[in-house]
Amino acid sequence: MKKLSTLILVTLISAGMAFAQSNEASTTVNGNGNDSEVVQVGTSNDADVDQLGNDNEANATQFGNMNIANILQGGFGGDGVQSNNATATIYQSGGTNEATINQRQGFSSGTAASEHSITQLGDANEALFTTFNGGNSGEITQDGVDNYARGQQSSGPDNDIQISQAGLDNHFDADQLVSQGSSVDGSQNGADNIAETTQRGSDNSIVSAQNGSDNSVEAFQEGSGNFAEFYQNGVNNEARVDRQQGDDNSADIYQQGINNNSSQWVVGNGNSVDQSQDGDNNRQRVEVTGSGNEYEVDQAGYNNRTYVNSRGTSPGSNSLNAFNSSLDITQSGAHNLISGSMGGDNNSLTIDQNGSGNIVTGGLGFWDAGGFNIEGDGNTAAITQGGNDHSAILNMFGNGNSASISQHN
């Protein structure tokens, strides 16, 4: 049976006209070649669209205040599954808007193609889409204050989530569940933004850009060929790659401002880590273990700190070390500090500090490494300090190691 439902509801206000403006629209469609459309103009609007099977499409457009739009498309959660070639679009303009898109498949006999989109303009918006399979995609755009956006998705072939929020107190969370061929591209512009992303699987990618103050971002990736990149500009920003576990992964963090923190935990082989900070009173920490990894850090400013651990203490296992890996650390400015430890064989450490009062040492409340310690065989270390009032402590233990410290004005 084929059921087609199109609902258009419009409420207007103009001179000489008055309408009650308690609008409410609901359409339930169960069958093939489904189509549904709701348009409401006014205040206190509510729209609900339910579709279960095949060729689905649903659009809800609401103008005004206190709008809520839900599009489901599929039986959800349990054995009801279905939805098939779904498209859902919600557009809302006003204040205190809420939008939800749930789509499905994962089987009631598949046929990929999913597409979701939420656009909300106004204040106190909230957006969510959940997709449990199909050839997923997504897009959430919110412009205003106190926005929240989520995401999710499951084991589809080509998952995609893009989230863009501009304003104050925004929070986006994109999970992508089990994930496959997944990508997250999020951007937040404002203050007090938080972004959390979790990806599992392979060939995942994260790009997150935050511009403002008091921003925080966190990522978890598991698998091979993953990519994480974060840009933050402002004050008191924090970026953390909570775990990248696998091979041939890449993680880059770029921060500009003061009192920023970045940390990464990378476990595996052939991984690349790049952290860059420009400003004052910034902190960096990296945990890298495995073989053939590259770690590069660049700090410019005053009173910055870098700590490196490649010998498997927390959060890794004590049995983990680094092999055939390189660590390059550059600091320019004044009163900067580097400390850390490496364990393993055939690694190289290069430290370059330029300015005045820069040190390679431990203590000062910056974790527990006493200078820079290297333990293993066939390792090389080179420390170069240019300027005035520098000091460096380098300890190496093992066989066939080489070390050099150069200090000059």
Q: How far apart are CA 394 and CA 329, in angstroms?
A: 14
Asked whether the beta carbons of 293 and 316 are under 8 A apart, the reply is: no
pLDDT band at 220 (very low <50, low <70, confident <90, very high): confident
- What pLDDT, on a 0 to 100 scale, did the predictor assign at position 287? 84
Cβ-contact 336, 353 below 8 angstroms: yes
Q: Is residue 80 part of a domain?
A: no
Whether pLDDT at 394 is above 70: yes
pLDDT tens per residue across span 169-214? 889 999 888 777 888 899 988 878 888 988 887 778 888 888 877 8
Query: Does 8 map to a domain?
Result: no
Structure confidence by residue, pLDDT tens digits, 235-251: 778 888 877 777 888 88
Per DSSP, which regions of 132-204 are E strands? Answer: 140-145, 148-149, 161-168, 171-174, 183-191, 194-200
| Domain assignment present for 369 | yes
Is-contact 2 24, C-beta < 8 A?
no
Beta strand residue intervals within 21-125, DSSP E: 25-29, 36-41, 46-51, 58-63, 68-71, 86-95, 98-103, 114-123
pLDDT digit string (tens) for 69-86? 999 888 888 778 888 888
How many angstroms from the chain centroid is the CA of residue 96?
26
Domains: count for the chain: 1
Q: Which residues are within 8 A (CB) of 233 and not within 5 positions of it... i.e. 6 or more apart?
A: 210, 211, 212, 255, 256, 257
Q: How confident is the model at residue 132 (pLDDT cuts 50, 70, 90)?
A: confident
- Assigned domain for 332 exists: yes
* Predicted TM-score of the model (pTM): 0.81
The C-alpha R_g of the chain, in whole angstroms, comes to 26
Tell me the average pLDDT of the chain.
Answer: 84
Sign of the C-alpha dihedral computed for residues 108, 110, 113 and 117 taken in this order: positive
Could you tell me what percent of the chain has a pLDDT over 70? 90
| Residue 237: DSSP 8-state | -
379 belongs to a structural domain: yes
Percent of the chain clearing pLDDT 90 (strictly above): 34
Half-sphere exposure in the Cβ direction for 197 (13 Å, CA): 35
Residue 372 domain-assigned?
A: yes
Q: Specify whether the CB–CB gap between 282 and 299 falls below 8 A.
A: yes
Q: Does the structure show a pLDDT above 50 at 318?
A: no
What would the pLDDT profile of 145-160 be if each residue is shown by its tens digit? 899 999 988 877 788 9
Confidence of residue 6 (pLDDT cuts 50, 70, 90): very low
Tokens standing for residue 128: 């969510």
Structural domain contains residue 145: no
Q: Which residues contact 15 (CB under 8 A, 6 or more apart)?
A: none
Rounded to whole angstroms, the Cα distance separating 287 from 308 reads: 6
pLDDT given at position 233: 86
Residue 368, domain member (yes or no) = yes
Which residues span the domain enclosing 379? 290-315+322-409
Instruction: Please name the residues in contact with 119: beta carbons below 8 A apart, sequence gap of 6 or more.
Output: 90, 91, 92, 139, 140, 141, 142
